[in-house]
Amino acid sequence: MLLSKPGTFKIVDWGVYTHYDCGFTKTETTENYRKLTGLTEVVRRNPVMSTLRGIDCQAVLYINSCEPKDGYGIPCKVSFEFSSWSEENGKEQKWEIEPPSWGIYVNSLKTFSSGGFNFTCNIPTDPRGGFNMEQWEKAAEKANELFFMPGLKENLAAGVDRYNGENIVSYNPDRPPYWKPVTIREVFNLLFQYWELDPNQQSSDMMMKALKDEYERFSETERNGYAFNGDPGSISGIGKDDTGIPVMRVNPDYWDKRLPKSAIQILSFYCPADKELIKSEREERLTNQDGSYHVSRFLEELNILDFQGIVAR
Which tens digit of pLDDT belongs to each residue from 251-280? 999 999 999 999 999 999 999 999 999 999
Q: Give domain status of residue 255, yes or no.
A: no
Rounded to whole angstroms, how far apart are CA atoms 166 and 43? Answer: 17
Distances in Å between the Cα of 283 and the Cα atoms of 135, 270, 271, 289, 295 are 54, 20, 18, 10, 12
Rounded to whole angstroms, how far apart are CA atoms 272 and 298? Answer: 12
Percent of the chain predicted with pLDDT > 70: 98
In terms of domains, do 191 and 72 share one?
no
In terms of domains, do 23 and 85 share one?
yes
From 230, 250, 270, give the residue that closes a domain.
250
CA 289 to chain centre: 30
In terms of domains, do 16 and 88 share one?
yes
From 204, 219, 250, give the residue that closes a domain.
250
In terms of domains, do 130 and 224 share one?
yes
In terms of domains, do 127 and 222 share one?
yes
Q: Give domain status of residue 156, yes or no.
A: no
Rounded to whole angstroms, how far apart are CA atoms 266 and 108? Answer: 7
Q: What are phi and psi of 299, to 5 degrees?
A: -65, -35
Q: Give domain status of residue 168, yes or no.
A: no
Rounded to whole angstroms, how far apart are CA atoms 207 and 213? Answer: 10
User: Parallel, antiparallel, or unpaired for β 160-163 and 101-106?
Assistant: unpaired
Percent of the chain predicted with pLDDT > 90: 86
Domain tally, the chain: 2
Domain that holds residue 280: 9-109+261-309
Q: How confident is the model at residue 22 (pLDDT cuts 50, 70, 90)?
A: confident
Specify the 3-state DSSP secondary structure of 93.
strand
In terms of domains, do 117 and 190 share one?
yes
Containing 58, the helix (H) or strand (E) segment is strand 55-63
Q: Give domain status of residue 173, yes or no.
A: no
Question: Which among 260, 273, 274, 182 is positioned nearest to 228, based on CA atoms?
Answer: 182
User: Around Cβ 57, how many Cβ atoms within 10 Å?
Assistant: 23
From 229, 250, 271, give the residue that closes a domain.
250
Q: Give domain status of residue 47, yes or no.
A: yes
- What's residue 137's pLDDT? 97
Rounded to whole angstroms, how far apart are CA atoms 265 and 172? Answer: 7
- What's residue 163's pLDDT? 96
CA 129 to chain centre: 39
Residues 6+ apart with CB under 8 A from 34: none
| Choice among 2-11, 61-70, 71-80, 271-280 with the minimum mean pLDDT | 61-70
Q: How confident is the model at residue 140 (pLDDT cuts 50, 70, 90)?
A: very high
Q: Give domain status of residue 190, yes or no.
A: yes
In terms of domains, do 232 and 127 share one?
yes
Rounded to whole angstroms, how far apart are CA atoms 302 and 86? Answer: 25
In terms of domains, do 105 and 223 share one?
no
Rounded to whole angstroms, how far apart are CA atoms 280 and 98? Answer: 23
pTM over 0.85: yes
In terms of domains, do 30 and 129 share one?
no
- How many H helices and E strands in the chain? 8, 14
- What's residue 42's pLDDT? 97
Q: What is the DSSP letter of 128?
A: P
Q: Give domain status of residue 164, yes or no.
A: no
In terms of domains, do 118 and 194 share one?
yes
- What's residue 18's pLDDT? 78
In terms of domains, do 267 and 290 share one?
yes
Q: Give domain status of residue 177, yes or no.
A: no
In terms of domains, do 230 and 271 share one?
no
